[in-house]
Amino acid sequence: MLFLIFEFQQELELARKVSIELLDTLRQILLYEMGKGGPLNAIKVCSNMAQDIPKFYRERYGLFIRRISEKYRNEADKPDNYEEKILRMLDSLNKQNKLPEEYYEVIKEGDKNYLRYFKPITVQGMCLVCHGTEDYIPKDIKEFLNKAYPSDRARGYKVGDFRGAVSVKILLKGGEK
């Protein structure tokens, strides 16, 4: 079935709004905790709240939302096959300096149509304390990360690298056939 953008405009606006809210909430919490107790305090709080924040938005808006990355720290952020394909495309576009602010498409899963929306995340300077190269991450943070995430893949980044995306999935009205 061919969908025109006006057929899912409400869902697209919701996906945009919620993905920005999720990232802003996480950023505000991290900045607050950094100011209160430094980077180690921020990573401890992030570790505890990283899955609670998307859960709050899922419950509030009745949609599927989470942060994903090929180089995930938490197993819950591991992309599914479709998300992995999109992450690789976005990473390639970032390397070409063509990363869009968002990516979306309508896909069919079984007999249902969904809006799949992705808000790319790139590495900022403040991210390096926990996600940078091994020589950049402070010893106390490395020790915490090694204990909390023994299979951590989320290190080795530089500013501007593609980190992952917020993934939103919304069942479209009239999307069930």
Q: What is the pTM of this model?
A: 0.92
d(CA 175, CA 177): 6
Could you list the residue range(s) of the whole structural domain that residue 139 is in?
5-176
Instruction: Indicate the pLDDT class of residue 91, thresholds 50, 70 and 90.
Output: very high
Residue 7 has pLDDT above 60, yes or no: yes
pLDDT at 4: 58
Buried b / exposed e along 96-111 (16+ C-beta atoms within 10 A): eeebeebbbebeeeee
Q: Which amino acid is at 51?
A: Q
Instruction: Indicate the pLDDT class of residue 47, thresholds 50, 70 and 90.
Output: confident
Nearest CA-CA partner of 123 in 161, 152, 154? 161
d(CA 26, CA 76): 16
Q: Which amino acid is at 47?
A: S
3 state DSSP class of 96 = coil
Instruction: Indicate the pLDDT class of residue 1, thresholds 50, 70 and 90.
Output: very low
Residue 3 has pLDDT above 80, yes or no: no
Number of structural domains found in the chain = 1
Give me the mean pLDDT over the 62-70 stretch: 96
